[in-house]
Structure 1
Amino acid sequence: MIETIIEITFYISTVVTLFIFMLPSQYVPKRNDNNNASSEPKTTVQVLVLGDIGRSPRMQYHALSIARGGGKVDIIGYHDSEVHPDISSYPDISIVPLPPHPSLLQTSNKLLFLLFGPLKVLFQVISLWWILAYRTKPAKWLLVQNPPSIPTLAIASLVCFFRQTKLVIDWHNFGYTILALKLGESHPLVRISKWYETALCRSATAHLCVTQAMASFLKKEFKLKSPILPLHDRPASHFQPITEERERLEFLLSLPQTSPVRSLVKEDKVKVIVSSTSWTPDEDFSLLIDALCRYSEISNTSKPQLPHILAIITGKGPQRDMYMERISKLQRDGRLRKVAICTAWLSTGDYARLLASASLGVSLHTSSSGVDLPMKVVDMFGSGLPVVGWGRFEAWPELVTDGVNGKGFGSSDELVEQLIDLLGNPDKLGKLRVGAQEASSYRWDDEWTPIAGKLFGLV
C-alpha cells in the first residue's frame, strides 16, 4: 500500500514538475536604463489574425502604426497573399506565419466535414498555442482580431495569463452573429458561441471596436468593465484620389479586365463601378446582379441613353464560383447586354488606383450584428470614390452621410434607381465625389494615435 502511494506520488510530482518547466516564459518589463533607452522599443505587441494577413488591412494598419510609434511587432496569421508593401520596410515588424491546414482535412463533403471540422479546430489550437506560447518571445501586449473567436479568444486568454501579457481585443463584428447567418439565431451552437464569446472577452485589459454603436452594445449586452474604445476605420495613406483624367484613363486601359470594353472606355461611354466582397453570406451579391440585369433592361429603352457599365468585383471567398456561374448564364441569355461583370485580385497599389479611377463604389455588406461597418467603404472614400451601399443597419450613418458622400439602399430595386440616377446624371455623381473627397481628409493615423497609440503607451 505504501509503495503504491509512493509510486503515485512520484508520477504526480513528475507531471507537475514537467508542467512547471514547460510553462511559457513570462513577459518581463524592461528597466528604465538611459544607456539602453535609444535601442529598446517603446513597447512590444503581438498582432494576431486567425485569417489571411494580406486580407486583414485593419490589423496591418495597427502593426504599421505601432512600428511608426517606436514599438516592435510580431504579426501572426496565415501568409497566403501579398501584405501591405510598407510592412516589409519596417525592421521592427516580423511576420510569423501560421501553418496552413493539412490538405487531408480539406473537403467539400458534408459528412466528412462533420469529422474534419473538429480536427481543423484542434489543428488551429495546437498551432496557436505553439506559436503564441513558445515560438515567439513574450510581449507586453497581444492584440487579437475578433471574429473569429473560436478558438482564438480561448488560446489568447490562456497565453496572456501565463505570460503576463495584456490582452486587447479588436472587435470587427461578433462571431456568434456570423454563425447565426448559417444556423439561425435560436440554434444551440449559436447560443454556445455567444456564451463563449461573452465569457472569454472579459479577460481582456481593453477593447477596441469599429463603431460607437458596437461600443454601446458591448457595454450593455456583454457587461464589460474594462475600457471600450471606439476606433473607426480610416483610409491609409496609399488610398488617394486621382485628379488627372489622363492618369485615370491610362490606368483603366492598362487593366486586363477592361479589354472587352476598351473602345467604350476611350470614348467615355462606359462607367466603371467597383465592389469589393469576401463572397460570404453577410454580403448578398445577388442584390447587385439583379440590379445590373434590370439596369441593362431599362438602359436599352431609356432616352437619353444610359452609359454601359463595367462592374469590377475584387476579393476572394467561398461563394465566388457559385455567383460567377450565375453571371455566365445571364450573359449567355442576353440579360447583361449593356453590362460587363468581371473579377479581379489586385496588388495593394493597383487596388487603390482602381478605386480612384472608378465612377462609383458599391457596398453589399449587410452586417450580421447591425453595429459593424465595411472597411471597403472607408478605402473608397480615401480614394475620393462615392459609394452606394446597403444602409439598413444601425451603424451605417456613422460612416456615410446620405446625399453628401454616398447613398444607402435597402433592395435591388432601390439600387437600380440609384445606378440610373447617378450614372445618368454626371452632376449628381460629381457632387457625391466632392463629398467623398472631403471625407478622405481624416486618415488612419489621425484616428489611431490618440486612441490606440495612447493605450499602448506610444504617445
Structure 2
Amino acid sequence: MVRNRAAVVVLGDIGRSPRMQYHSLSLADQANLHVDIVAYGGSSPHEVLSKHPRIRMHLLAPPFTAGWPRALRLLALPVKVTFQVIQLLWTLCVAIPAPDVFLVQNPPSIPTFMVVLFACVLRGASMVIDWHNFAYTLLGLSLGKRHPLVTISRWYERYFGKKADAHICVTEAMRQELKDNWGIRATVLYDRAPDFFRPSTISEKHELFMRLHEDLVQARYNSPNFLQLSDWDSHSRQESPISSDSETDGLRTHPICNGIENPESLQDARDTRPQNTRVENDGSEVEDDDDGDAVYGVSRLERTLLTLRSTTANTELKVGTLEVEELDGGGHVQLNRDRPAVIVSSTSWGADEDFSLLLEAGVMYNQRVEASMQNYSSLAEGSRYPDILFIITGKGPLREEFEDRVRHLNLQHVAFRTLWLAAEDYPLLLGSADLGISLHTSSSGLDLPMKVVDMFGCGLPVCALAFSCIHELVKDGENGLLFSTSDQLTNHLLHLLEGFPEKCPALHALKAGAWATGDDARWPDEWETAVLPLLSWLRK
C-alpha cells in the first residue's frame, strides 16, 4: 500500500545537517510526499523547511552525555545507546505515521541502522541509507583505528548497512569502496547547492554586516586597527550603506559592506561637479570622454568623507569599500579601495580539520604584508595586499581552543572571527565574501566538504586542503586552489589577493570558474536524476 509518506532519520542536529534538509525539501516538493523528520534539535533548520506545509519535525531529546569528558562518555555509552534505542523505537514505530520509506543519514550508524530495520519490518517500509561518511572512521579519530570499539563499529556498520533496500553516497570514490569492500551498490548523489545559495546583492551585504557588526567589530580576542570600530556612531542612518548630511561632513559607511544601496545620497555632491570631468583614484580631476559617461569618485573626499566619526572620542578611523553602482544618469560611484578581504570557512570544529594551518597562514600573511609595506616609501604604494578578515562559522568542541590561540596573536593586518549564523544568513555571508577556505580532510578520505559546494553555489572560489578525492569537486586552478601546508595556503592568498580588489586577475578567474561550477547543476536537478527514480522503484 502506497502511503505517500517518507521519514528522514538524523541522529544528530538537523540544523547542522544541510544535506538531509535538502533531501526533506526534495521529498516534499519533487516527490510530492509528506515528510516526517526525526532528529535532534539544537540549531534551527532553514526557514523554508520549518514552514513547509508537508514537512513535520519530531525532535528527540539530546543525549544526556553531551559535554561530558570522553572517559565518562565511554563509561556511559551502554546507557546512552539504550536510551537512544528506546527513543527511536517509540518515535519510528508509534509516534509518526507509517511511511513508505525511511531515509537514514550515516553516520551515525549505532543504533540507527538496527532500529530503523526493525521499524521497516513492523511498518512495511523500505530503508535507504545516505552514506555521508563511515561512522567507524570518525570514531577512530578519537579512539584510534585499532581500538576494540572501532572494530565493533565497523562490523556493525557493514553488517546492518548491507540489509538496507537502497543506498546513496556522496562521491564516486565512496561508491567504489562500498562496491569493492562492502558488497553494497550505491547511487552517487553529489552535493549541490540549492537555489538560495547565490551571490549577495549590495543591499543584502549591507544588511547582513549591519546585523553582524557587533560580533565582527567589537574587540573580543583579535582586533587589529582596521576593525577597531567599537565607537561607531550608532545614531547614523542605517537603512543604507551610505548616508550624508552634507558633502563634507557626516558620511557614514560600514567597514565591510561592499557598496552603495542608495547612490542618490551622493546626488548633491555629484551635481556640483563639472559635467565633463571625472575624478581619478589619486584625487585628480580629468575631463570625461566624448560619450559623456561621467565617473564621480568619492576618493577626492577620502580624508574628509570616507571616515567613521566617533561621537565620544572625536576621532576618525579610515574605512573603505569598493563597489561600482550604476546611476540613472549613466555614471557610477566608486568608493575607496581600502576594505579588508573577507575570507570565509565553515566547520563543525571537530578533529577532522587542522586549524593550525589557518592560524599559521594568517601569521605568515601578516608578516609578508608588513615586509611589503617596508619596501615602499608610502603606505598607499605599499598596500599591495589587503587586510584580511577571516570568518569561521560553525560550532563544536574545538572552537574555544581556537579562540584562545587567537588571543595570543599580535596581528595588524589579519583578524579572525568565529560565528554561528542563522540558516538564512549563512548563504548571504558566502555570497558576500571574496574567498572561501576548506580545511576538511575526511576521516575516510571518501567524502567531500559540503561547505565547498555551498561556496560554489555563491560563486565563491575556494582554497581547499588536499586529500584523496577532493579533485571530484575542486578543480585546481579552475574553481579553486589546493594546498597541503600553511606555506602553500599563504602563497595562494598572496597570489590571489595582490592588487585587491580590482587588479587581481587570478582571483577573478577563479570566481568565474566557481560560479560556472555552482550554476552548472543545482540540488533539485541532481536529486531528480539520482534519487527520484530510486524512490519510485521502492514505492511500487
Counterpart of 1:444 in structure 2 is: 523
**Post-superposition shift, 1:106?**
4.7
- For residue 164 of structure 1, what is the aligned residue in structure 2? 124
The match for 1:45 is 6
1:99 aligns to what? 61
The TM-score normalised by the length of structure 2 is 0.73
Q: Give 1:158 shift.
A: 1.9
Provide the residue aligned with 1:320 in structure 2: 399
- Given the superposition, is the C-alpha separation of residues 114 and 190 from structure 1 closer, same or farther in structure 2, using an over 3 Å criterion? closer
1:134 deviates by: 1.4
* Equivalent of 2:195 in 233, 237, 241: 237
Corresponding residue for 2:21? 60
Partner Cα separation in structure 2 for residue 114 and residue 180 of structure 1: 14
Greater displacement, 302-311 / 210-219: 302-311
TM-score under structure 1 normalisation? 0.85
For structure 2, the residue ranges without an aligned partner over 5 or more in a row are: 219-226, 228-254, 256-317, 322-335, 374-381
The answer to whether 1:388 aligns with 2:345 is no
Mapped partners of 1:106, 1:229: distance in 2 = 34
Output the CA distance in 2 between the equivalents of 1:117 and 1:106. Answer: 11
- The letter for the 2-side match of 1:80 is G
Q: How does 1:278-427 map to 2 (within 5 A)?
A: 278-302=348-372, 304-305=382-383, 306-330=385-409, 334=410, 336-393=411-468, 395-425=469-499, 426-427=504-505
**In the aligned structure 2, how far is the partner of 1:342 from the partner of 1:435?**
27
Equivalence for 1:19: none
AA at the equivalent of 1:326 = R
Distance 2:182 2:92 in 1: 26
Secondary structure of 1:421's counterpart equals helix
Provide the rounded CA distance (Å) in 1 between the counterparts of 2:53 and 2:428. 27
* Per-residue Cα deviation, 1:196-252 (whole angstroms, up to 9, x for no partner): 11111011111000111111110001012xx4100000001110113x556545643
Alignment of 1:251-290 (within 5 A): 251-256=208-213, 257-259=215-217, 261=227, 262=255, 263-266=318-321, 267=336, 268-290=338-360
Q: Which structure has the highest helix share of the two?
A: 1
Deviation at 1:291, TM superposition (A): 0.9
Residue segments in structure 1 that go unaligned for 5+ positions in a row:
1-28, 31-40
2:49 & 2:427 partners in 1: Cα distance? 17
Contact 2:204 2:428 in 1 (8 A): no
**Aligned pair in 2 of structure 1 residues 390, 99: CA closer, same or farther (>3 Å)?**
same
- CA distance in structure 2 between the aligned counterparts of 1:421 and 1:154, rounded to whole angstroms: 51
CA offset at residue 164 of structure 1? Answer: 2.0
Decide which moves more: 304-313 or 164-173.
304-313
**Counterpart of 2:408 in 1: which secondary structure?**
helix
* Distance across 2 between alignment mates of 1:106 and 1:252: 33
Give the aligned partner of residue 299 of structure 2: none
- Are positions 1:85 and 2:164 aligned together? no
CA contact (8 A) 2:128 2:164 kept: yes
State how far apart, in whole Å, the 1-side matches of 2:66 and 2:455 are.
35
Instruction: Tell me which amino acid in the other structure corresponds to 1:252.
Output: F
1:44-88 CA distance string (max 9 Å, x none): 110000111111111010110111121111011012121111113
What residue in structure 1 maps to residue 89 of structure 2?
Answer: 129
For residues 251-293 of structure 1, the C-alpha deviation after alignment (integer angstroms, 9 at most, x for no partner) is 4355224435235454433100000000001111111111111
**Aligned equivalent of 2:507, options 422, 429, 434:** 429
How many angstroms apart in 1 are the aligned matches of 2:121 and 2:357? 46
Distance 2:320 2:74 in 1: 49
Instruction: Name the counterpart of 1:201.
Output: 161
Residues 350 and 398 of structure 2 are in contact (CA less than 8 Å); yes or no, is this contact kept in structure 1? yes
Q: Between 193-202 and 342-351, report the one with greater CA deviation.
A: 342-351
The amino acid across from 2:34 in the alignment is K
| Amino acid of the structure 2 residue aligned with 1:434 | A
What amino acid sits opposite 1:94 in the alignment? R
Mapped to 2, the partners of 1:275 and 1:87 lie a distance apart of: 24
